[in-house]
Amino acid sequence: MKRSGAVNSPCVLAVGFLLWTAVAEFCYGSTESSTAAAKSVGNDVIRMRIISDPVSLAHGAVTRHDETEDADDETEAALDSANDSLVMPAAFTGPDHFRLYDGRCYTLEKSNFEYKICPFQNITQRETSYAVGRKRATRIIGIWYDWIIEEGNFAGWNMQNGEMCGNKPRSAKVEFACNDDAGLWDVTEPHQCAYHAVFKLPQACSPDALLIYPMLSDELQIKWDIFETQRLEGDLTEKGFNLRLMNLMRLAGFVQNVTETPVALVTGVTPELTQSATGAPMIQPEVSPGI
C-alpha cells in the first residue's frame, strides 16, 4: 500500500478540530461566554467593559456612575480639596420619612455639566465637556444648611456655603415637586453662582407628608395656635404672623436664621430664654403684636 506524506483524512481533521475546541474551552472558557464577554468591531475584537459599581435604581438613586477610574480619582481629589476649606453640613432635621434620602445621591446631566445632589450633604457640579489637557472642574455649589419653609410646609432644601465665586460663596435652592420616583430633575443658574434645582419625590405628592405642624413639640404647637388665633381676630398682621412662625421654625431647628429680628412669641406671655447665634442665652424682647 502506498502511504501519502500528508494526512487528508476527514476523520483526522475532525478529531484535530475537536481537540483544539477542547483546549480553547479549557483555557479561555466556553465559546459562548467568550462571545458574551467581547464585542466585535470590524475585524477587531474588544472586551466589553465590566461595570463593577452599577447604577442603583432604588428610589431613582444613582449611587455612583463614574466614566473612568482617572475621572474618579480626579473628582474625589477635587472634592477632598474643596471640603478642607468648607463648612460641614448641618445636622439632619425634619420628618423621619426624609431620612431615607440621607446617604443617597442623585445625578442629572444637563448641557456641559453633571449635577449630583446628596440630600442633607451637598450638591456638586462637574464639567462633562472640557479642553484636552485641562482638568475638568468639579465644584461644590452648596452644602446642606436648612429647610425652605412655605405656607407651613417643608418646600425644599437650602444649600449654602459652597465654593467661592469671586467674593461670595456659591449656593443652591432645591425646591420639591411631585413624582413617583425621587430624582434631580432640573438645575438652572438664574443669578451668577446662585443655583435653582428641582428635586422630585413621592412625599411632594402627599401634602400631609410635608406639613410642619405635626412635627412640632406640644409647646410650639400651642404657640402656633395662639398666633393663628391672633391673626384671624385681626390682632396680628400677616407680616407679624409670618415672623413669629419663622421664629418657631428656628426654635424647632428647621431653619437657622430668620431674615428679620425674631419677635416675642405673644404679648402678655413671659419672654423666654432662647439661644443667640453664638449659643449664649438671650431674652427676646416683647413687642406689639401688630407689627
SS3 at position 73 = helix
* Length of the chain (residues): 291
Strand blocks (E) in the chain: 38-41, 44-47, 106-110, 113-118, 122-127, 138-150, 153-160, 164-165, 168-169, 171-178, 183-191, 194-201, 273-275, 281-283
What is the 3-class SS of 86-127, one letter each residue?
A: CCCCCCCCCCHHHHHHCCCCEEEEECCEEEEEECCCEEEEEE
| pLDDT more than 70, % of the chain | 58
Please report the pLDDT score of residue 132 as a whole number. 74
User: What grid cell was written down for 45?
Assistant: 475584537
**161 near 145, Cβ under 8 Å?**
yes
The bridge status of strand 44-47 relative to strand 38-41 is antiparallel
122-169: pLDDT as tens digits: 999 999 887 677 777 899 999 999 999 999 999 999 999 999 999 999
Confidence of residue 26 (pLDDT cuts 50, 70, 90): very low
The answer, yes or no, to whether residue 275 has pLDDT greater than 50, is no
Q: How many other CB atoms sit within 10 Å of the CB of residue 171? A: 20
The answer, yes or no, to whether residue 3 has pLDDT greater than 70, is no
Sign of torsion over alpha carbons 165, 131, 83, 102? positive
CA distance 248 to 220: 7
SS3 at position 269 = coil
- Residue 271 dihedral angles phi and psi, to the nearest 5°: -55, 145
Segment 158-186 mean pLDDT: 96
Please report the pLDDT score of residue 207 as a whole number. 81
The answer, yes or no, to whether residue 284 has pLDDT greater than 50, is no
Segment 25-32 mean pLDDT: 44
Question: Rounded to two decimals, what is the model's pTM?
Answer: 0.63
Please report the pLDDT score of residue 136 as a whole number. 79
Please report the pLDDT score of residue 82 as a whole number. 53
Q: How far is CA 54 from the centre of its chain?
A: 18
Higher pLDDT, 288 or 249: 249
Higher pLDDT, 43 or 231: 231
Segment 252-258 mean pLDDT: 89
Taking all residues of the chain, what is their mean pLDDT, rounded to a whole number? 73
CA distance 167 to 145: 20
Please report the pLDDT score of residue 196 as a whole number. 98
Grid coordinates 438652572 are at which residue? 188
206-230: pLDDT as tens digits: 989 999 999 999 999 999 999 999 9
Higher pLDDT, 249 or 269: 249
User: What grid cell was written down for 26?
Assistant: 479549557
* Of 230, 91, 215, the residue nearest 152 (C-alpha): 215
- CA-only gyration radius of the chain, Å: 31
